[in-house]
Structure 1
Amino acid sequence: MTSRRQFLAGLAAASLAPTQGWSTVGAPDFLAAALFPDGTYRLAGLSSEGGILFSLPLPARGHAAAAHPLRAQAVAFARRPGTFGVVIDCKSGTQTARMDAPKGRHFYGHGVFSRDGTHLFTTENDYEAGEGVIGVWDSEDYTRLGEFSSGGVGPHDMRIMPDGETLIIANGGIETHPEMGRTKLNLPIMQPRLSYLSLSGSVLEQIELPRTLHKNSIRHLAVRSDGLVGFAMQWQGNRLTHPPLLGLHKRGEAPRLLAAPESVQSALQGYAGSIAFAGDGKTIAITCPRGNNLLRFDSLTGRLNDTTPLEDVCGLGAGPSGFVFTTGTGLVGALTAKARISARPDCQWDNHLVPVGLPV
């Protein structure tokens, strides 16, 4: 693990030469933000077994990150309503650039590179207009090239589809303003939707939930190699109602909503944190940190396969066989037939595990 002294020494000595591939930093499988015992927020590179290959300080609490598909470079994003994006050379341990959201914008904590790595797309809030935008950045020097509408309000997660030419955006539907912190301003009229956009911002397809579920905020995404999209939701309505927190969608079709039996669903507190497909695509899982549970579903039939109780589990990614998860209590584990704890680093993992490598 990189110490603060080592990080500062590297920062003083390193050049700004182009970074090399991910193998130069031990080929991490995931990136994850965390709070460390010394009070620093960091971005860490993790192996699938939970080994920390590097950890680099952030200005404040991070949320998720974007891994460059070719270079050992990552962009760590502030948690909403933060405005920083830190560009990190993961080989030298240096911050090579800083992205600041333009005036009147803040980041939502997520971004994604184009498949060729030339552009970075970021989910943002135009908070005076109450509309979502997608920022477009040049990945050579991280200057802003422009922006376009996200196709909705409150864009959170975003992915590149397997065709390399389409963005899928989770427009959560919740309007916020930084002067009001994280207060949700439009719950009675919120309208979440999945938006499929071209890389130039043209709307290709939009999917909305049934009106009775208009308070089910679409937050996080997973994409299978054949284009099947999984989406995780967070319920903003009556806590006596326990709606589905997982959906599946394929372009041109209606969405399918998946739920556990009521005895399980009612304990999840209406909140799914992260989502991922297993490597073979047959299983999809969501984490429910408020309900202290990880649920696996059959992606063909939509049936619940099993549940795994885990305290404050949230980060989730595809492992060599099954899933890798992280918890707010500091655990890293693997889930195949059953859960196995593989590491217990002294930190508190934040919400997400971001896979390293080419999108999808």
Structure 2
Amino acid sequence: MAKSSRRSFLAGLVAASAWPLPSWADLGSPAFLSAGRAPSGQDMVAGLDLQGNRLFQQVLPGRGHAFCAHPRLPHVIAFARRPGRFAHVLDCRTGKTLAQLQPPDGYHFYGHGCFSTDGTRLFTTENDYENARGVIGVWSVQDTYQRIGSFSSGGIGPHDMAGLPDGSFVVANGGIETHPDTGRSKLNLATMQSNLSYLSEEGVLQDQITLSNDFRLNSIRHLAIAPDGTVAFAMQWQGDIGLDLPLAGLHKFGTPVRLLAEDDIRWREMKGYGGSIAFDHGGTHLAITSPRGNRLLVLDTASGSIQVEHVLSDVCGVAPQAQGWCATSGTGQILTIGAAQATLLKQTQFQWDNHLVAL
């Protein structure tokens, strides 16, 4: 979509109504989104305020994984857990499902996506499993989220993706080949190679980063972006568990990759699994979770060292707030994470799922 047509689209939205466009303020300006399972057994998406109160919740057709929120409109894209094929577009004011997205035959979603900077397009990570290649699907917000194209993700197994300050985006290609016929089995561990791929909104590959052969089995999975465009990535080790292997790294376009706290034995407690990752608002510290290891680590981005280790049962979701982070767990806890301590904010009856998304 050309820039002129994007401007026309946004102008058309305004002209179509005598009232201002709806926004997140109409819902009380929720701070976070998370998937969870209610006590009834229903899978839900919920909007939370800074105190952990639910401002809204909507039923999902199955277990959710992650979400992306439109930059202005109160629309949430709720993605199925891999290898799911649903992505629902929800109007969080009314609970209405605006669109039900399905990838083409032979594809499935990977659970993540992001909007273009101007909000006119949605991008989704997908698996073309018959051809063992990663794909980014492109959907038009203007046309009720119709699919308008796709392009290569730059690797196999694109999981997370995130927008960058310059309007391009980065994709975490986890490198693991899967096929729905074999569930979540990993089919190419002998040759797998994950990467970070930097792409324009038109799908042009601008840069690509791979890890050294010693870390080839570290699957790059989840991403966070600092204010200056630095990319943090969380990894999941596909080899023998019990090694002191780093599960987090940093990269900035045009510079070498940095793996963090490479010799720290506390990585062993993470059980090889980086669940979610988030910068603080200043980009000076980084939080990474492991529900398998019941750990949340806080790292200093300048030194790369682990500053704090929190032992928290089944913790996975983490997102920045004004001071430190908010975190969620499968045991129903919502916590605030500071420089030195974790404080229980609210105990709920929800089983919070993998990711907490800041709005």
Establish whether TM, by shorter chain, passes 0.5: yes
**Whole-angstrom CA distance in 1 between matches of 2:78 and 2:233:** 22
**Whole-angstrom CA distance in 2 between matches of 1:244 and 1:262:** 8
What's the counterpart of residue 26 of structure 1? 28
How far off is 1:318 after superposition? 0.3
Q: 1:154 aligns with which of 142, 153, 157?
A: 157
How far off is 1:47 after superposition? 1.3
How far off is 1:262 after superposition? 4.3
How far off is 1:263 after superposition? 3.5
In structure 2, the CA distance between the partners of 1:118 and 1:197, relative to structure 1 (3 Å rule), is same
**Whole-angstrom CA distance in 2 between matches of 1:260 and 1:30:** 32
**Whole-angstrom CA distance in 2 between matches of 1:187 and 1:85:** 28
What's the counterpart of residue 242 of structure 1? 244
In structure 2, the CA distance between the partners of 1:240 and 1:179, relative to structure 1 (3 Å rule), is same
What's the counterpart of residue 251 of structure 1? 253
| Structure 2, gaps ≥5 residues long | 1-18
Alignment pair present for 1:354 and 2:340: no
What's the counterpart of residue 222 of structure 1? 224
What's the counterpart of residue 10 of structure 1? none
- 1:157-236 to 2 correspondences below 5 Å: 157-164=160-167, 166-236=168-238
Give the AA of the match of 2:64: G
- 1:323-338 to 2 correspondences below 5 Å: 323-336=325-338, 337-338=340-341
| 1:24 counterpart SS class | helix
What's the counterpart of residue 101 of structure 1? 103
In structure 2, the CA distance between the partners of 1:46 and 1:260, relative to structure 1 (3 Å rule), is farther
**Whole-angstrom CA distance in 1 between matches of 2:303 and 2:45:** 37
**Whole-angstrom CA distance in 2 between matches of 1:315 and 1:60:** 19
In structure 2, the CA distance between the partners of 1:261 and 1:191, relative to structure 1 (3 Å rule), is closer
Kept in 1: contact 2:227–2:282 (CA 8 A): no
- 1:89-168 to 2 correspondences below 5 Å: 89-140=91-142, 141-164=144-167, 166-168=168-170
Give the AA of the match of 1:191: Q
| 2:269 counterpart SS class | coil
- 1:238-317 to 2 correspondences below 5 Å: 238-259=240-261, 262-317=264-319
Structure of greater relative contact order (alpha carbons < 8 Å, 6+ residues apart): 1
| 2:214 counterpart SS class | helix
**Whole-angstrom CA distance in 2 between matches of 1:253 and 1:238:** 30
**Whole-angstrom CA distance in 1 between matches of 2:52 and 2:40:** 20
In structure 2, the CA distance between the partners of 1:88 and 1:148, relative to structure 1 (3 Å rule), is same
* Percent pairwise identity: 51
Q: 2:344 aligns with which of 326, 341, 345?
A: 341
Give the AA of the match of 2:62: A
What's the counterpart of residue 83 of structure 2? 81
| 2:249 counterpart SS class | strand
How far off is 1:343 after superposition? 1.1
In structure 2, the CA distance between the partners of 1:184 and 1:19, relative to structure 1 (3 Å rule), is farther
Count residues with an aligned counterpart.
339
Alpha-carbon RMSD across the aligned residues, in angstroms, is 1.3
**Whole-angstrom CA distance in 2 between matches of 1:263 and 1:169:** 29
How far off is 1:259 after superposition? 2.8
| Structure 1, gaps ≥5 residues long | 1-16
What's the counterpart of residue 48 of structure 1? 50
Kept in 1: contact 2:234–2:249 (CA 8 A): yes
**Whole-angstrom CA distance in 1 between matches of 2:304 and 2:264:** 15
| 1:353 counterpart SS class | strand
Give the AA of the match of 2:162: R
In structure 2, the CA distance between the partners of 1:198 and 1:220, relative to structure 1 (3 Å rule), is same
Normalised to the residue count of structure 1, the TM-score between the two structures is: 0.92
Give the AA of the match of 1:353: L
How far off is 1:281 after superposition? 1.1
